[in-house]
Structure 1
Amino acid sequence: MPELSVLKATHVTGHILEIEFSDNHVSVVDFAPFIFSDGHPDYDVYKDISRFVQFDLLDGNLNWDDYTMIFPVEHLYENKL
């Protein structure tokens, strides 16, 4: 089976992205619970929507600011952050 990867990510609203994967599966993922939890202070910048939407797709991964924030593709697929 080929490795699962992110093909496309589209901002829906707030901290919600619609993510399309290499097997054509689509997940709608709300990142707000993760970003607004008591987590790492490096993630605080993404509370601002204008910074949150500045993600890139890099090597099949959804990536923010040169790997400051990145999630396993399988977790995004299953919508389990």
Structure 2
Amino acid sequence: MDRLLHSSSSGVVRGYHATDPLTWPPDVVVAIVNAELISSYTLRLYFEDGFTRDVDFEPFLTQAVHPQIRQFLAPERFQTFRVESGDLVWGDYDLCFAVADLYTGKL
């Protein structure tokens, strides 16, 4: 029963999960260079390594409980995104995501 309630620590090495699906060498930095709105809550993100990913933010926003996040369900608010220093941000970093999550498309 204990294994059902607690995840196994056999894959953990010094606080990092060895089974992490996205691992980059420590000297690699992936930044966003551009973003464009392609539908209501979907952005096309361009990364500096040439990779492009379409990310749909609607599921994340609709499942959010916090009003600071839900405010971005208003289309005019969502469309205020910008790329700043390689990050995708809204407002004064009112909403931002880890670049690795955006790269994989898993919010």
1:41 to 35, 54, 67: 67
Question: Unaligned regions of 5+ residues in structure 2, if any?
Answer: 1-26
Find the aligned partners of 2:64 and 2:96 in 1 and give their Cα distance. 17
Aligned residues: 81
Q: When the two structures are superposed, what TM-score results if normalisation uses the length of structure 1? A: 0.94
Find the aligned partners of 1:47 and 1:63 in 2 and give their Cα distance. 15
Identity %: 31
Find the aligned partners of 2:56 and 2:40 in 1 and give their Cα distance. 8
Q: Quick check: which has more Rg, 1 or 2?
A: 2
Match status 1:11 vs 2:74: no
* Greater strand share, structure number: 1
Q: When the two structures are superposed, what TM-score results if normalisation uses the length of structure 2? A: 0.72
Question: Unaligned regions of 5+ residues in structure 1, if any?
Answer: none
Relative contact order, higher structure (CA 8 A, sep 6+): 1
Which 4+ stretches in 1 moved above 2 angstroms?
none
